[in-house]
Amino acid sequence: MKSKERSFRIVDALLLILTLLPFLCGILLYVLFEPSSEGIEITGARIYFTINMPLQNLPITESQVNSWLVIVAVFFLCLYLTHGLSAEHPTRRQHFVELAIEKSENLVLENMGEYFKDFAPFVASIMLLSVCSSLLTLIGLYPPTSDLNVVGGWALLVFILITYYKFKCGPVHYLKSFGEPVAFLAPLNVISEVATPVSMAFRHYGNVLSGTVISVIVAAGLQGLTKLVFGNLPGFIGKFPFLQIGIPAVLSVYFDLFSGCLQAFIFAMLTMLYIATGFPEDDYKEKLKKKNAKLKLQESTN
């Protein structure tokens, strides 16, 4: 029994190490590739290297690398949380996992309905990936959600799902939906359709990026104000960052923690609402009834 418990703890510790290892690798890459600079410098994701391609070169950027680091970390975190599940002797970890799954399923059922109950893993994955990506700023790494290309890819995936479920009743039904409620609104409905992924991407990207920029500007301003007010004091007192204590931390709590989690929740909610409202469930059920009735009629005649 002791050997089983020891091996269980060893696997647990190994999974935790593998969960944290991608973030440590990200910090190491950031330190190795950090260019020397003076003053305030707000830039996008730095380019680590470029792969030569036939049509266009493919730059491997900080946002791409950090996205994969988050994916790997989340993968091992899920393995850790689901390690040692037992129906007879559930642990606190198992209770937490069951609660998270129950909340995700209830959220999907409330916002999407019974037909989309299997969407819970997808929605939970979007939220977890978005939250972890935004919280990378807490350890000094570039958040992938500050890159429009990354968030735009998520929004494009959601747009493909929206279009797929709108096509459930056939292309004719899909084209007719642009003329609702009246035909002359069709151009506006087409613009609205195209604007859906654009608005989702810019909303998430803009809020995360603006928080990062504001935090950097305020921190730099407080640094200059500290030198102006206390710079003439003798010794280490003149160099101590009095005004930089507290305020940047409060801003980090809002922009990194609260705003990052909020934007992840909003993106997941929009994903559920756009897919659920775009799917003509009543018409699809009616189509299935007619199809089943036709099949039964064919079977009876044969």
pLDDT tens per residue across span 38-94: 555 566 778 888 888 888 888 888 889 999 999 999 999 999 998 888 888 888 888
CB count in 10 Å sphere of residue 190: 11
What's the confidence (pLDDT) of residue 106?
A: 93
Q: Which of 20, 41, 23 is nearest to 31 (CA)?
A: 23
Q: What is the mean pLDDT of the chain?
A: 83
Query: Looking at the predicted structure, is the pLDDT value of residue 231 above 80?
Result: no
- Return the sign of the alpha-carbon dihedral for residues 28, 33, 38, 42: negative
Residue 66: both structure tokens together:
């950090």
Cβ partners under 8 Å of residue 280, min gap 6: 166, 168, 169, 173, 177
Alpha-helix runs per DSSP H in the chain: 2-33, 62-81, 92-112, 120-134, 148-166, 171-176, 186-230, 247-252, 259-278, 281-301
Query: Cα(139)–Cα(200) distance, rounded to whole angstroms?
Result: 26
Query: Cα(89)–Cα(95) distance, rounded to whole angstroms?
Result: 11
Among the ranges given (157-161, 173-177, 222-226), the one the predictor scored with the smallest mean pLDDT: 222-226
Among the ranges given (69-73, 90-94, 184-188, 214-218), the one the predictor scored with the smallest mean pLDDT: 214-218
What's the confidence (pLDDT) of residue 76?
A: 94
What's the confidence (pLDDT) of residue 218?
A: 76
Query: Cα(16)–Cα(79) distance, rounded to whole angstroms?
Result: 9
Domain boundaries, the chain: 1-35+46-82, 85-301
Q: Which residue has the higher pLDDT, 177 or 22?
A: 22
Q: Is the peptide bond preceding residue 241 cis, with omega within 30 degrees of 0?
A: no
What's the confidence (pLDDT) of residue 73?
A: 94
Contact 265, 111 (CB under 8 A): no
What's the confidence (pLDDT) of residue 103?
A: 92
What's the confidence (pLDDT) of residue 249?
A: 64
Q: What percent of the chain has pLDDT over 70?
A: 88
Q: Which residue has the higher pLDDT, 241 or 134?
A: 134
Q: Which residue has the higher pLDDT, 287 or 233?
A: 287
